[in-house]
Chains A and B, each alone.
Chain A
Amino acid sequence: MAEADDRTFLGLSDVSISEDIPVEGEITVPMASHSQDEDYSTLDEPVKETIIRDLKAVGKKFVHVMYPKKSNALLRDWDLWGPLVLCVSLALMLQGGSADSKEDGGPQFAEVFVIIWFGAVVITLNSKLLGGTISFFQSLCVLGYCVLPLTVAMLVCRLVLLAGMGPINFLIRLIVVIAMFAWSTLASTAFLADSQPPNRKALAVYPIFLFYFVISWMILTFTPH
């Protein structure tokens, strides 16, 4: 029995490499050097490429907001360029409203800016305090990007108001603003509601509803000179 075992053992030794042939080769991982090259290349690339890549990322997020599916792209690579652009354009479009006295007019640029950013920060803090698992800037990113439908509504309202004031005019604006308000709220809820504990979803969603309601109210009550 032992001999049989020796024979199998010898068979194995036949397979082994003889000592004359030196063992050599490279241990470096080819992938590591490739990524290092990539890091260097983003520094060396022309500015136009960097800007276009960032613009593409922003544009991709706009598409995600307009067609909200449960994807993680918006949450994973957050950026605040989109919200800044939307906030500034919305605040600019809300200027030039009617003002009998200095007090009685619509919101000033600074008021719109403060409401949007301060409101988004408060909602984010609220959802984090309630036990949400989303990070601070991710939530800011989502809330800011979901202002896009309302910015579109503002644009439409300004164009409609060029045709003059009137009840039909008002009805069109009302329908557009209500539709965009619902779209904004649903889009942001689709992204943010999953990160909340299940028995507190309504508590986290209600402030978002209030936030977009206030912005919609500002858009609807805009009256030009």
Chain B
Amino acid sequence: MAAPQDLTFREFEVAADLLAETPGATTISSLREPQGHVSLAADTGDQENGDLEENDQTQLLEGEKQPPNFWTFSYHQSFFDVDTHQVLERIKNSLLPLPSQNFVRHCLRHHPDLYGPFWICATLAFTLAVSSNLATLLQNWREASFSYSPQFHKVTVAGITIYCYAWLVPTALWGFLQWRKGVGERVGCYTFLEIVCVYGYSLFIYIPTVVLWLIPVSGLQWFLGVFAVSLSGAVLLLTFWPLVRSDTKVVSAVLLIVVIALHALLAIGCKFYFFQSLPSRSIPVTQAPLRQVTPPGSSKTSAAP
């Protein structure tokens, strides 16, 4: 007669038996296809097994931890290993600068992803183009001479600007921090992808800001811009402060000021280029002939003592 035990899952019984026989073994089970190996080390308190088994274990563990080749698919897949709730949590943390919570250490935890930066930048680029088109429409639809045009070139400009900011500035910052790490001893450095991740998520606040910039009240627009820059700038500052805290005061101050300045410059540049009102655009055209007239006159006057 078949015992009730025969109806249970035999595989686990076999595995449990094997584990009981060799307590020093490591079991590996894959939680997620196709990658995501978790190695569960069984009780390795047995020191009598000798160096051979330990070498095998460490080799096995090292083989697991060895990063795959850059040209394989699974290498890039490791940067998209996030769940929905993780992405939402990272976005939320990029909006709240808490001094106790460093974005990189607390939120990313050595697990940067490229999903957030890439799609936040894409969304921001399209939102900028759409908002700017709508803002032009809202300002000028009452004028008789106005003819609506989609202004599709703004998508290209917005895309290039945002992606350059989100990738070139982290590259420069990472290079600078690596140099300081080489020069000084206690200056730490994040990995390149962690810096890209921080910058990508810090751009999230600009998406609602850009949408709200449609409201044609100038004071409100400036307030929203300043609010967005200060919020995400604070997150960036709090992220990079622990790294440069041990460096010289001049270098750390310059670095932090440059980070904030570039962030603000992005916001101001977008505001002026994409949300310019029509009358102010014509001013540079009328000023140019005046500039051409004055230089010959000024050179004559400067020669005279």
A residues with CB within 8 A of B:
97-100, 103-107, 111, 126, 128-131, 133, 197, 199-203, 206-207, 210, 213-214, 217-218, 221-223
Residues of A within 8 A of B122 (CB): 207, 210
Q: Which of B76, B77, B150 is the one whose CB lies under 8 Å from A221?
A: B150
List chain B residues, Cβ under 8 A from A98: 147-149
A200 to B115, CA, bound (A): 11
Q: Could you say which residues of chain A place their CB within 8 Å of the CB of B152?
A: 105-107, 111, 218
Cα-based distance from A202 to B76 in the complex (angstroms): 20
A interface footprint on B77-91 (CB within 8 Å = 1, 0 otherwise): 101111111010000
With the chains together, A155 CA to B149 CA distance in Å? 19
B165 on the A face (CB < 8 A): no
Contacts A129-B79, A214-B126, A217-B126 supplied; 14 other A-B pairs, CB < 8 Å: A100-B147, A103-B151, A104-B149, A105-B149, A106-B149, A107-B152, A126-B115, A131-B32, A197-B32, A199-B83, A207-B122, A210-B119, A223-B147, A223-B148
Q: Which residues of B contact A99 (CB under 8 A)?
A: 149
A97–B152 Cα gap in the complex (Å)? 11
Instruction: Decide: A223 and B149 in contact? CB cutoff 8 A.
Output: yes
Instruction: Assess the A201–B84 pair: CB atoms within 8 A.
Output: yes
What are some 9 contacts across the A-B interface (CB < 8 A)? A106-B152, A111-B152, A129-B79, A129-B80, A131-B32, A203-B83, A203-B87, A221-B148, A222-B150
B residues 28-79 in Cβ contact with A at 8 Å:
32-34, 73, 76-77, 79
| Complex contact A129–B84 (CB within 8 A) | no
- Enumerate chain A residues within 8 angstroms of B33, measured Cβ to Cβ: 131, 133
A133 vs chain B, min Cβ distance (A): 8
Given contacts A197-B32, A201-B84, A221-B133, contact A104 B153 (CB under 8 A): yes
B87 touches A217 (CB 8 A): no
* B101 contacts the other chain (CB 8 A): no
CB-CB contacts of B119-152 with A at 8 A, as 1s and 0s? 1001100100010010000000000000111111
- Per-position binary interface string of chain B over residues 10-24, scored 1 when its CB falls under 8 Å from any chain A CB and 0 otherwise: 000000000000000
**Residues of B close to A128: CB separation below 8 A:** 73
User: CB-nearest residue of chain A relative to B87?
Assistant: A203
Contact A131 to B34, CB < 8 A, known contacts A206-B119, A217-B130: yes
User: A202 near B84 (CB under 8 angstroms)?
Assistant: yes
Chain A hits for B87, CB < 8 A: 203
List of B residues within 8 angstroms of A207 by Cβ: 119, 122
Assuming A203-B82, A214-B126, A221-B133, is B150 touching A107 (CB within 8 A)? yes
Which 7 A-B pairs rank lowest in CB-CB distance, beginning with the nearest?
A: A129-B80, A221-B150, A106-B150, A199-B83, A104-B149, A202-B84, A107-B152
Which residues of chain A have C-beta atoms less than 8 A from B151's C-beta?
A: 103-104
Of all chain A residues, the one with the shortest Cβ separation from B118 is A126
Which of chain A's residues have a CB closer than 8 A to the CB of B80? Answer: 126, 129-131
Name the residue on A nearest B134 (C-beta): A221
User: Which residue from chain A places its CB closest to the CB of B119 in the assembled complex?
Assistant: A207
Residues in A neighbouring B130, C-beta threshold 8 A: 217
Q: Look across to chain A and name the residue whose beta carbon is closest to the beta carbon of B129.
A: A217
Contact between chains at A210 and B123 (CB < 8 Å): yes
Q: How far is the CA of A98 from the CA of B152 in the complex (A)?
A: 11
Q: Beyond A197-B32, A203-B115, is A218–B150 a contact (Cβ under 8 Å)?
A: yes
A16 to chain B, nearest CB (A): 38
Least Cβ distance of A149 to chain B in Å?
A: 20
* Closest chain B residue, CB of each to CB of A225: B147
